Amino acid sequence: MYISIAATINNRMNKLLVLSVLVALLALSAESFRVPRQTEEEEGSFTKMTGKIKSYYSSAVDTVTGYVDSIKGLKLEEKAKNLYSDTTNIVSTYAGIVQDQLYHFFHH
């Protein structure tokens, strides 16, 4: 009889130990879920403002990068060089014609 009572007490103690360990693990896991939420709630106004400024800055940089890429896609630099060379060719041709006309006007 004493052996069955000792076995029952030992069995109950094991169950109590397992239950205590499970409650402790549950408490620890619940505490780990609360930590991120507390940090979000405790975020100061300076941190929020800094975060917003960083997001605005990154958005502006992305927008400007997009504009620069679209301008490079249009090949404006190459078009400007071609326009300059065409204009100088045309102007030099007409300047030569005007110089020729003036020479013949004054020397005849």
Domain for residue 84, yes or no?
yes
> Is position 83 within any domain?
yes
The number of folded domains in the chain is: 2
Structure tokens at 81: 């060089």
Q: What is the span of the domain harbouring residue 13?
A: 1-32
| Tens-digit pLDDT profile for residues 12-59 | 777 777 777 777 767 666 555 555 555 555 567 778 888 888 888 888
More confident residue, 107 or 2: 107
Global pTM reads: 0.34
Average pLDDT of the residues in 52-73: 80
Quick one: angle between helices 76-107 and 45-74, nearest 10?
50
Residue 46 lies in a domain: no
Hunting for tokens 């709630």 — which residue is that? 41
Give CA separation, 58 vs 46, 51, 66, in Å. 18, 11, 12
